[in-house]
């Protein structure tokens, strides 16, 4: 079972290539692999599980990796999931076709697992930091392990927020948050998880401190109302740094 702080990767490739030993090696490095041999299997997994990124082998004959990429990037429910295309071929033509299909990264194989995983983690971090964040003056109510707390909101995006608190929370810790938006009667209610703790550093004296939270499950129409607020506020807010 994948842990709360594990990257869940969907691999579209020949299932016989990914052995139990390979899976164990990935798990040790924080990546839980879900395998699919074709688009139908991949689509079922995408509908039933929360996938962090998708890796497609362009050298696997039964599938057309670039067409699958184009399809996934055209769908609202999957367009934000990073897609990595891999191949043992090094031709510039193949690389260009991969990126033109909408892939976020093209990786030449073979590549040692640890370096490949590092590229995946860098891609996830890069994608996360491109999310627009805005400031919101107000408090957030949050619950961890059955205990309620409250603190000021550091900043906010449609996918996460910074809690201005000195509370020590470990990465992967489930958290329930509620906060109010201006001119809205209902609170925004979300379940998420802690992804990072930011403390004062002399190297980054202007960086905000607190707890970074990633949003996972929105209750009711909270997601739509939050996205509308972010869209209206982002253009007038100069602080678009993403801290998660």
Residue 100 CA to residue 197 CA, distance in Å, equals 36
pLDDT score of 45 = 94
Contacts of 188 by beta carbon, 8 Å cutoff, 6+ apart: 177, 178, 179, 180, 181, 218, 222, 225, 226
Cα first-last separation, the chain = 24
More confident residue, 17 or 38: 38
pLDDT in tens, 31-79: 888 999 999 999 999 999 889 899 999 999 889 999 999 999 999 889 8
pLDDT band at 236 (very low <50, low <70, confident <90, very high): very low
Strand partners, 24: none
pLDDT score of 210 = 87
pLDDT in tens, 139-171: 999 999 999 999 999 888 888 899 999 898 887
More confident residue, 81 or 30: 81
Mean pLDDT of 225-234: 84
- The 3 state secondary structure assigned to 80-135 is CCCEEEEECCCCHHHHHHHHHCCCCEEEECCCCHHHHHHHHHHHHHHHHHCCCEEC
Residue 222 has pLDDT above 90, yes or no: yes
CATH number belonging to domain 133-234: 2.40.10.220
Sign of the dihedral through C-alpha 222, 104, 127, 107: positive
Domain boundaries, given as residue ranges, for the chain: 7-129, 133-234
pLDDT score of 133 = 66
Which CATH superfamily hosts domain 7-129?
Response regulator (3.40.50.2300)
Residue 128 CA to residue 124 CA, distance in Å, equals 6
Provide the whole-model pTM: 0.54
pLDDT in tens, 85-143: 999 988 888 888 888 999 988 998 888 888 888 888 878 766 655 556 677 889 999 99
pLDDT score of 25 = 79
Per DSSP, helices labelled H in the chain are 20-28, 39-48, 65-74, 92-100, 113-129, 222-234
pLDDT score of 134 = 74
pLDDT in tens, 186-220: 999 999 988 777 776 565 566 678 888 888 899 99
């Amino acid at each position: 079972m994948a842990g709360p702080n594990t990257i869940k990767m969907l691999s579209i490739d020949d299932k016989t290539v990914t052995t139990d030993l390979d899976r164990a090696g990935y798990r040790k490095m924080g990546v839980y692999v879900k395998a699919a041999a074709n688009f139908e299997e991949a689509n079922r997994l995408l509908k039933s599980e929360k996938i962090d990124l998708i890796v497609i082998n362009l050298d696997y004959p039964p599938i057309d990796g670039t067409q699958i990429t184009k399809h996934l990037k055209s769908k609202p429910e999957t367009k934000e999931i990073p897609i990595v295309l891999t191949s043992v071929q090094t031709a510039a033509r193949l690389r260009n076709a991969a990126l033109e299909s909408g892939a976020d990264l093209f990786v030449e194989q073979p590549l040692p697992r640890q370096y490949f995983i590092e590229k995946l983690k860098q891609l996830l971090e890069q994608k996360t930091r491109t999310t627009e964040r805005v400031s919101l003056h107000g408090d957030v109510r949050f619950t961890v392990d059955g205990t309620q707390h409250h603190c000021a909101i550091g900043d906010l995006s449609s996918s996460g927020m910074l809690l201005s608190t000195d509370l020590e929370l470990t990465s992967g810790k489930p958290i329930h948050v509620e906060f109010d938006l201006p001119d809205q009667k209902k609170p925004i209610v979300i379940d998420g998880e802690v992804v990072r703790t930011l403390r004062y550093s002399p190297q980054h004296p202007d960086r905000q401190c607190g707890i970074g939270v990633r949003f996972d499950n929105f209750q009711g129409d909270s997601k739509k109302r939050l996205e509308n607020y972010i869209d209206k506020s982002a253009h007038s807010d100069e602080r678009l740094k993403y801290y998660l």
